Structure 1
Amino acid sequence: MTSDFPLFTLSDEHRAVREAVRAVCDAKVAPFAAEVDEQVRYPSEAAEALLAADFHAPHVPEEYGGAGADALATVLVIEEVARACVSASLIPAVNKLGSLPVQISGSEELKTRYLGALARGEGGFSYCLSEPDAGSDAVSMKTKAVREETSEGVFYVLNGVKRWITNAGESEFYTVMAVTDPEARSKGISAFVVEKSDEGVSFGAKEKKLGIKGSPTREVYLDNVRIPADRMIGAEGTGFATAMKTLDHTRVTIAAQAVGVAQGAVDYALDYAKQRQQFGRPIADFQGLQFMLADMGMKVEAARQLTYAAAGKSERGDADLTFFGAAAKCFASDVAMEVTTNAVQVLGGYGYTSDYPVERMMRDAKITQIYEGTNQVQRIVMARQLLAGVQSEL
């Protein structure tokens, strides 16, 4: 079959996107990456630079004021930002994750209001699915939304706790999944847009994390948060289906993060190996190290091609997107963990210190194997797709 997204080459437009993002990142993101990690602070410089260049939420369609980037262009943005700073890459990645339910299932009014606000830079968008006792088993969530009819109109009152919410407190808007019918299991979950300014919304302390320290992860508390019914995303009871459809697409963006940080580690390790002298020669001359570098480059490129293939499937909405999204996320994140660990090894003792970026890259890479579904869950997803007879359309 023909494809608008060739697997093994990029169009001139996509190459231009990569070059533009890399230029922004080299100038305004990478120079602050170590400081952001050490000070455990939000990457404000990156946020401002990405907003100014319209890379903060490139996926938003043009009709709502966005850049209208296709899935592959969005992947390229996230990959290039992650190459410089994984914490900063969570700005475009989470803006897509949080707002995609609105884009997929929201009313035209919701799309105009919230996608427009996101495109204009009026606030980021976070995604609230996980809870203290409902991580991989999201159907077991306890957050509730109770319908309330008054003389003023129809409202929903939300109560509950959402955990592991990326960029919580920084984002202005939150897609929240809540139970509207406790007896209906997955078909009793609905999705809503909650605003940071809504009465009853508050946040827990920032989690103390191994990596991505510049991206705050906090609990979101919903204490009698009363919102109008028109902020429901899609019909009542369709929230879980929207959430799963969203993840099919956004797992590709996690794969892009993984490819980006892995490429950053390869780049640094290669440069170091050519300059570092031992036994009177650059260590790049030694075959043992060359084999390690070769494996690193080979696996990153394999992960990249799988990720780009998945991006094409995301754009087209192919029937096997669920398999490819899970495969790209799982494979690329496993590669990122291996490659960044090997980059530390290439640098030896220096790699183990924070004076060099590869130890940060290794710490940052780990989360890509965990969030948006652990890699164990991804393998379950892939196996179910294979057993159901879903075939590749490549």
Structure 2
Amino acid sequence: MENIAKHSASENSSPYYSVRETRSTEERNLELFSQLRHNLRALMPVTPRLAEQLNGIELSELQSREDLAAIPVIRKSTLMQQQHALRGAQKVSDAVFGGFAPVTWGQVARVYGSPGPIYELDSNRTDYWRFAQALYAAGIRSGMLVHNSFSYHFTPAGNMLESGALALGCSVFPGGIGQTELQVKTMLDLRPDAYTGTPSFLKIILEKAEELGEKIDSLKHAVFTGEAFTPTMQQWFEERGVEGYQCYGTADLGLIAYETSAREGLVVGEDIILEIVRPGTNDPVAEGEVGEIVVTTLNPDYPLLRFGTGDMSMILNEPSSCGRSNMRIKGWMGRADQSIKVRGMFVHPEQVAEMSKRLDGVVKARMVASGKVGSDHLVLQMERAEA
């Protein structure tokens, strides 16, 4: 499916990035499942993992979320294991992406390595990660300068937000992370309209500016992800003239949901199918219950079908008062597995086990995370067998 078309400057007054955001539920579901069947029909012959996952289910039977429930959930741990198991295979689609992505070099613009390691791909298609709708909902418009403080190194976060900003017609300064005083100087020189990154790092930048006797007063909009964005933090930024909004996505899936001016949970992004299932199972939870977020994408390059994120949330029943008609989730409500996030990066149990193997005699190992969001730290504790 083509991503939502980018806006011109003349469309900046619209409250919505696309009229598709206000479709009826019936129209949206009809289009989502029609596109899903079309994609699967084209991709199954070149993506063996899809055929295995469907296990004989007829594509014509996939008409609703209830029909999807017959398909097993693929979780990140399985994806990681499959990538590792096929390492060294002749085909790039197998050796790098575990048989889930029907691509080869030249068809992929960039490849990323997230902690695990687990590899993700990127494309030069406009707004490939679909973040433009989240930035637009936060007030970012064509002609603005966005200071992007996500890393462009190894993981896709930097390009995720940048591609959304470029699709809106913005310019982007790729600030990345660290070098706080230089970040302050650059903001004072370039006077950006908006910031994308973690809330904790923008707080550090603004506090450093105040410490230096400066005020970054050009900054009016911010889109945060990768960390919790609490009401206390929201108020702190508003006192400094910055209106912050949060969004939620993953390196595998791109944007999943985003906050709007209604401040009523997160609206699910267009072009994905979201479900909430009982953790560790394939079964959808009852309406209003907390469970694991499972997402099906319509991405022909990386067609993840019922992908379990490991993140917990719940569906909010009523549509948002902002006028967007897609379902809403409450936001991030914890993990369904033992993975933890430290300063915006996941650490998985498998990595602890791998570290233990590198040293002789280790019988026990654990990671201990402590501290507040943004200043948290991680300690690896190991116990060796007695001599």
TM-score interval (norm. to shorter) = under 0.3
TM-score, length basis structure 2: 0.28
Higher helix share: 1
TM-score, length basis structure 1: 0.27
Which of 1 and 2 has higher RCO (CA within 8 Å, sep 6+)? 1
